[in-house]
Copies of this chain bind each other. A is one copy, B any other.
Amino acid sequence: MPPHEIQHLIASLEQLSFNFYGQDFLLTSEKTTDELQTVMKLADILRSLFVQNISTRVFDSGLAIAQFRDKSTRTRFAFASAANLLGLSMQELDEEKSQISHGETVRETAHMISFLAETIGIRDDMFIGKGNSYMREVARALDAGVQDGVLDHRPTVINLQCDIDHPTQSLADLLHLVHHFGGDPKNLRGKKIAMTWAYSPSYGKPLSVPQGIITLMTRFGMNVSLAHPEGYDLLEPTLAQAKAFAAQSGGSFQIVHSMEESFQDADVVYPKSWAPFWVMSQRTELLEKREHQKISQLEAECLTNNARFKSWECNESLMKRTQQGEALYLHCLPADISKVSCEAGEVSAAVFEKYRVQTYLEARYKPYVVAALILLGRFRDPVTLVDSLYRQGTRRIGR
């Protein structure tokens, strides 16, 4: 990106109205479209500065706390990279190694880790009705900590995937789409995206990605088509939001029951497995009661049920139905690729290979999205800040 484009980008931030300072980022649906555009622009600016070897170390010290209640590679590294890019040190809260396993309350732990923290990123995506609530419990504890004079400043909470949304993923996906369609979010208007279920031999993938996609892409005037087999419904409130957002933005939202129908004339496809809603709910319940044997039973049932839908695979024949047979394929990775990572999966090897590099480019936006969120939550005037970073032009590497 040539220098005048960065300046242009920074200047264009001024046109947007936003209020991130001191705010958590828990759901994209709680933010205005201006705010979502701010995140994307700032992510682009941070990446441009990085590519031009300009330091964006805005913190001289401070912790970025990560709490992963589920496995993670890309989000873990995106968070670590983002923290590092801004000058923060990532510190994991490992529940096994901590006194949490000795019975600390969420409120108490939230205080104990936060005295010198700038942000807390949380992944908690396994149980319906739990993950986002947990984040809000942490957030309330931090509010109380500030009110009570315990915390000298309040770290922000960033959702690194919950039961409802996966905002750093969906924003990276969106930013990828914006660039794919020429750089202006306006170009997304009227484009069709097929968010469809796909078969996977695995069990219990969270609903957060499809929910995140339908509630975000409808904000930008896209025609969102959701497809899944019977029983694989998403959470009702996210469906209602998608409808409402589509109505506001001039896009549309419809639910269909076949990949064929969803892919028809699509500009973008996002075929991905998730668990049936009833399975997720029952599992949450059984886990609470610690009925581990019944969970195994449930898992077996779920896999049998899944197996009825092996035909839900994104392959070349389906891709032919899309806009000129050339829809952009999205995936949050890792994908279950037929004959590669499993016998039968979400996507055929030929389709995945065609778009593999594109999925890596899609993933590349995530560290910058996270960095933008961290920065916005802790600086009152981010526009002046990045402008001054650009003008100072301190080298990131070299002396």
Measuring CB to CB, which residues of chain A are less than 8 angstroms from any residue of chain B? 47, 50-51, 55-63, 68, 71-74, 76-78, 80-81, 84-87, 89-91, 93, 97-105, 108-109, 111-113, 115-118, 145, 148-150, 152, 202, 333-334, 336, 341-342, 357, 360-361, 363-364, 367, 378-379, 385, 388-389, 392, 394-399
Expressed in whole angstroms, the Cα–Cα distance for A59 and B62 within the complex equals: 14
Residues of B contacting A389 in the complex (Cβ-Cβ under 8 angstroms): 399
A355 to B385, CA, bound (A): 41
Q: In the complex, which of the residues A108, A360, A399 has the most CB atoms of chain B within 10 Å of its own CB atom?
A: A399
- List 17 extra interface pairs beyond A99-B334, A150-B361, CB under 8 A: A47-B152, A50-B152, A56-B61, A59-B397, A61-B85, A63-B81, A72-B99, A73-B93, A73-B99, A73-B104, A80-B89, A89-B90, A103-B341, A105-B334, A108-B334, A115-B364, A149-B357
What is the minimal beta-carbon distance from A287 to any residue of chain B, in angstroms? 19
**Selected contact of A73 from candidates B55, B113, B145, B341, CB within 8 Å:** B113
Q: In the complex, what's the smallest C-beta–C-beta distance from A74 to chain B, in angstroms?
A: 4
User: Are B108 and A77 neighbours in the complex by a CB distance under 8 Å?
Assistant: no
Given contacts A112-B333, A364-B150, A367-B116, contact A396 B72 (CB under 8 A): no
B101 and A71: CB pair below 8 A? Answer: yes
Knowing A80-B63, A97-B68, A150-B357, say if A397 contacts B58 (CB, 8 Å).
yes
Give the complex CA separation of A149 and B57 in angstroms. 25
A399 to chain B, nearest CB (A): 6
For the complex, give the distance between the alpha carbons of A80 and B47 in Å.
26
Contact of A89 among B74, B84, B117 (CB under 8 A): B84
